[in-house]
Amino acid sequence: MRHLGAFLFLLGVLGTLADICEIPGVDIQLVEKLGQRLLPWMDRLSREHLNPSVYVGLRLSSVQAGTKEKLYLRSLKLDYQQCLLGSAFSENDSDCQAKPSMGRLSLYLLAVRANCEFVSGRKGDRLISQLKRFLEDEKRAIGHNHKGHPHTSYYQYGLGILALCVHQKRVHDNVVGKLLYAVEHDHPLQQSHFSVDTAAMAGLAFTCLRRSNFNPDQRQRITMAIRTVQEKILKAQTPEGYFGNVYSTPLALQLLMTSPMSGAELGTACLKAKVALLASLQDGAFQNALMISQLLPVLNHKTYVDLISPDCLAPRVMLEPATTTVPQTQVPETISVTLQVLSLLRPYRQAIPVLAGSSLEDVLKKAHELGGFTYETQASLSGPYLTSVMGKVAGKREFWQLLQAPNTPLQQGIADYRPKDGETIELRLVSW
C-alpha cells in the first residue's frame, strides 16, 4: 500500500495544479516487474504465439529485452511476410494456414515503425496495399448509408488507419469518413455500452492524421471527433478511477495524454486513473500481453501516436527474468467453481474441480473433459472469446457474456479471469 499512498498524496497535491493529462514518475521497480511479464512471450516464436503488440509495448517503454527484441522482430518479419506475401515469393506457403487479420497486420506495421523503420520496397508496398484493401472491404460492409457494420470492428478499423498514418501513408477521405461518422453518431461505437477502447483507438487514429496534416478537407471534422471521444471517455470514468474498466484505461490514457484540451478536470481525471491502475497492478492485474503492452508506454509518457517519429536512441533499463522461489513441499490446492448456462432450453449447471489459480478458460476445458458441456472460441487481439456454448452460436448482434453470479459482468476475458473457490460463473447469451 506504500505506493498507493504516495499516489493518493500526489493526487491531493497535484490535482489542483495539473491542467493536462500527465503521469507522475512511477517506481521503476514496478515498471520492471510489469515488463518481466512480457519476457516469456519473447521466447514464444511460433506462429500462434507471435504478437506484434508485445514488441510495440516494449519499444515505447522505459525497459528493454536486449537481443530478444531483435530476434522477436526478425521472427515477426519472416512470419508476416511469408503469410501475406508467401504465394508471390515462395512456391510453398501451405504451412501458413490463415493469413493475419487486419488488426494483426496493423499491429505488425506498428512494430516495424517502433524500430524506426518504414515499410518499403516491393514487399512493403504489398503489405500497405493489403491493409488498404482490408479497410476498403470494411468500408463497403458499413455501406454508403452507414447502416452496416465492419466485418471485424471499429477498433480494428481505427487501428488500421493509425498504422497507415505512422508510416506516412495517406488514407482516402471516404475511408476516414466512415470512422468519423461512427464517432459523430455514437451508436456504431457501442454494443451494450459505450466502448472506451474503441473510442480511444479512433481518437489516436484521428490525432495521427491531424498531426501529420493528412486529409485536410476533413480537418475540422477530425478535430471535433477527437474532442468528442475525449469528452465521452472522461464521462465514462468510474468512481474507482477507471475509464470504462481497468483494461480499457491504458488506451484511454494514451489518447488523453495527446489531448489539446486542458483544465483541472482533465488533470484530476488522469491522476485518479493512475491511482486506480497502480492499485490494480498491486492486486496482480495485467497478465494479458496486449494489456501490458498498452500500459507500458503510458508509464513512459508515450503513446502510439509517438510512432510518427519514434525515439530509438532513448536509454531503456535492461530487464532480467523474474526469480521466484517455489517451496519444495508445495501441494497443489483444488478448488470448486460452479459453471452455469441458464439462457438455453436445457440449462447447464455443474461444479467443476480445478487447481487454484486456474483461469476461466481452464474451467471451461475441464468442464468439457468431464462431459456434458461444449464450447467454441475465437482468437482476437485481446484474447480468446466465446462464440458458441452448448451448440448455441452467438448471432450477428449477440455475444456470450461472462458474469459472476448473479449479475456482475466480468471485467476480464476467459484467458485472464481466475475464479475463486466456491464462485459461480454464468455464461449468458445477450443481444445488443
Q: What angle do the packed helices 121-142 and 67-89 form, to 10 degrees?
A: 80
* Cα–Cα–Cα angle for 176, 59, 233, rounded to 5 degrees: 45
SS3 354: strand
Q: Which domain holds residue 389?
A: 334-431
Number of separate domains in the chain: 2
In this structure, the answer to whether residues 387 and 427 fall within a common structural domain is yes
| Half-sphere exposure at residue 312, Cβ-oriented, CA atoms within 13 angstroms | 14
Q: Final residue of a domain: which of 287, 318, 349?
A: 318
User: Is 197 annotated among the ligand-binding residues?
Assistant: yes
At position 70, the amino acid (one-letter code) is K
CA 180 – CA 162 distance, rounded (Å): 14
User: Is 155 annotated among the ligand-binding residues?
Assistant: yes
User: Is 238 annotated among the ligand-binding residues?
Assistant: no
Residue 160 predicted with pLDDT over 70? yes
65-70 LR contacts (CB < 8 Å, sep 24+): 65/35, 65/38, 65/39, 65/318, 65/319, 66/318, 66/319, 68/39, 68/42, 68/43, 69/42
User: Is 168 annotated among the ligand-binding residues?
Assistant: no
Q: Is 21 among the domain residues?
A: no
User: Is 402 annotated among the ligand-binding residues?
Assistant: yes
Q: Is 17 among the domain residues?
A: no
Sign of the dihedral defined by the CA atoms of residues 44, 47, 51, 55, in that order = positive
In this structure, the answer to whether residues 265 and 341 fall within a common structural domain is no
At position 97, the amino acid (one-letter code) is Q
Total-model pTM: 0.80
Secondary structure percentages of the chain, helix, strand, coil, to 5: 50, 10, 40
List Cβ neighbours of 56 (8 Å cut-off, separation of 6 or more): 107, 110, 111, 114, 293, 304, 307
Please, which residues bridge with residue 341 across strands?
Answer: 348
Taking only the tens place, the pLDDT of each residue in 251-283 is: 999 999 998 777 778 989 999 999 999 888 877
Please, which residues bridge with residue 404 across strands?
Answer: 408, 425
pLDDT above 70: percentage of residues in the chain: 87
In this structure, the answer to whether residues 271 and 372 fall within a common structural domain is no
Q: Is 404 among the domain residues?
A: yes
Residue 179 predicted with pLDDT over 80? yes
User: Is 401 annotated among the ligand-binding residues?
Assistant: yes
What pLDDT sits at residue 159? 96
In this structure, the answer to whether residues 156 and 39 fall within a common structural domain is yes
CATH of the domain at 412: 2.170.130.30
Residue 180 near residue 226, CB atoms below 8 Å: no
Q: Is 91 among the domain residues?
A: no
Taking only the tens place, the pLDDT of each residue in 190-225 is: 544 578 989 999 999 999 999 999 999 999 999 999
List Cβ neighbours of 40 (8 Å cut-off, separation of 6 or more): none
The mean per-residue pLDDT over the stretch 221-236 comes to 95
Compute the mean pLDDT over every residue in the chain, rounded to the nearest whole number.
86
* Cα–Cα–Cα angle for 332, 338, 344, rounded to 5 degrees: 145
User: Is 294 annotated among the ligand-binding residues?
Assistant: yes
